[in-house]
Amino acid sequence: MSRQLGLAAFAAAVLLPIAPSSHAQAVEPPGPAPTLDQVVAIALQHNPDVVLARLNAESMRGEQRIARALPNPQLQSAPNQPWQYTITMPLDITPQRLLRTRAAARGSSAALDDAVDAEREVRFAARQAFLDVLLAERQRDLANERRDTFEQLLRADSARLVAGDIPPREVTKAELEEARAAADVARADGQVHAARLALQLIMGIASPDTGFRVAGELVYRAVDLPLDSLSQLATGRADVRAAAERVAQTKALDGLATASLFPLPVLTFSHSAQVFPRGDLFTFGTRNSIGVGFTFPLFYFNGGERQVARAAAAEARLDVQRLDARVANDVATALDAYRSTRMLSERYQSGLLARARDVLQTAQYAYRTGAVSLLELLDAIATYSDTRADYYAAVHDYWVAVYALARATGREWVL
């Protein structure tokens, strides 16, 4: 943001006293303006990424039901041979069933963890977008204040010019600053609209509106975190669990490809209109007979399935290694940002804002008495303006870092 937009800093007119609380925030009115928690709740319910992840988990639960299901029997009829009725039942009690159901269960668990992980990402995205809206609105407020300030300054200097107290160049300079401030307001409006639209996109709102408002403040508040154990806590993230489940799933699929080499027995029960001879095997002189069949590897030995399973297992292990590195990087990056933004926010809170306000008040008084020039007053305005704008940016970055630590560890730290 330009220095001119940063000049949108101080809350009172240049010839009027400054408000006593320079960093106090005006809370949005309740009602249609949602709070941060409400925004997150809406996003978790309607965000397309979360919805798709939940649908995929539902699909995988269906796949698990399919894997657990027992095969249905086959009923056949052969006329005039004489009439025969045959029921065929695959005996699905082999290791194939155990490994098949195990692989499906692992896949279903991984899909559920994927849905939880999608919620983790969307929760952070919604929080960051919410903070972006607050920051854009605060900076627009500062831009409006700056424009109003220069409008009042221009009116006052115009009167002083008529009285012969200041040269024309002072009025020209004030007029130029007022025009720049008006342009800054227009740019700030565009930034607010863009931030609001981005937030509504994450929330899954079908018809986003640039007039969408939120209720919240950009205020620093210390959050205590278990900094020494963050890396250990991050190992329980949902995406880490999902990766481990997929490694186990590929092991089960590899075993299933090998177990499929063993024949699956099929039991057949037949009933005939003709009585079988008493000496026939499996008939015992009745109209009923029992048979057993199976398929056996003769032309194909499941080499493709085993090759695919081995490649999938190697890929799953590689994903685990890559994810471990990503988790460590997420925690380290978020922790560094948290420490730096917390230190900066505390420095602003400890007196930087007050000192910048005092400098401006002194410059205002000196300008009214003619002790300083317009350029010196503008410099004081810029200093106070930049200080307030940087404070809001620091508080915004601090909360983003806090929520980034929640995303990096998969734990919630802010109640």
Query: Residue 396: its pLDDT value, please?
Result: 95
In this model, does residue 22 exceed pLDDT 70? no
User: Is residue 240's pLDDT more than 60?
Assistant: yes
Mean pLDDT of the chain: 81
- Which pLDDT does position 75 carry in this prediction? 85
User: Where does the pLDDT of residue 372 fall: very low under 50, low under 70, confident under 90, or very high at 90 and above?
Assistant: low
User: What is the model's pTM?
Assistant: 0.79
Confidence grade of residue 198 (pLDDT, cut at 50, 70, 90): very high
% of the chain beyond a pLDDT of 90: 38
pLDDT band at 340 (very low <50, low <70, confident <90, very high): very high
More confident residue, 405 or 15: 405
Name the β-bridge partners of 265: 294
Describe the strand order of the beta sheet including 265-272 as a list of residue ranges: 74-78, 84-90, 265-272, 288-294
What the block records as the tokens of 131 is 């903070």
Higher-pLDDT residue of 298, 73: 73
Residue 297: asked if its preceding bond is cis (omega within 30°), the reply is no
Report the DSSP beta bridge partners of residue 303.
none
**Greatest Cα pair distance in the chain:** 135
Q: Which residue has the higher pLDDT, 156 or 180?
A: 180
> Is 74 strand, coil or helix?
strand
Most confident of 89-98, 167-176, 291-300, 393-402: 393-402
pLDDT reported for residue 102 = 93
User: pLDDT band for position 96 (50/70/90)?
Assistant: confident
- Name, in order, each residue with C-beta under 8 angstroms of 270's C-beta and a sequence gap of 6 or more: 84, 85, 86, 87, 288, 289, 290, 291
CB–CB of 164/28 below 8 Å? no
pLDDT recorded at residue 173: 73
DSSP H/E element including 90: strand 84-90
Q: Is 326's pLDDT higher than 80? A: yes
Q: Assign 7 a pLDDT band (cuts: 50, 70, 90).
A: very low
Strand partners, 52: none
**Which of 281 and 217 is assigned the larger pLDDT?**
217
Under 8 Å between Cβ of 93 and 221: no
Whether residue 197 is predicted with pLDDT greater than 90 in this model: the reply is yes
pLDDT tens digits, residue range 115-127?
999 999 999 999 9
| Residue with the larger pLDDT of the pair 274 and 185 | 185
Model confidence band, residue 166 (pLDDT cutoffs 50, 70, 90): low
> Quick one: pLDDT at residue 25?
37
Return the minimum-mean-pLDDT range out of 64-68, 72-76, 306-310, 363-367: 363-367
Q: What is the mean pLDDT of residues 160-183?
A: 74
pLDDT of residue 271: 76
* Residue 355 pLDDT: 77
Contact residues for 253 (Cβ-Cβ < 8 A; gap 6+): 99, 103, 309, 312, 313
Ordered domains of the chain (ranges, CATH): 3-261+297-409 (1.20.1600.10)
Q: Any bridge partners for residue 292, and if so which?
A: 267
- More confident position, 377 or 207: 207
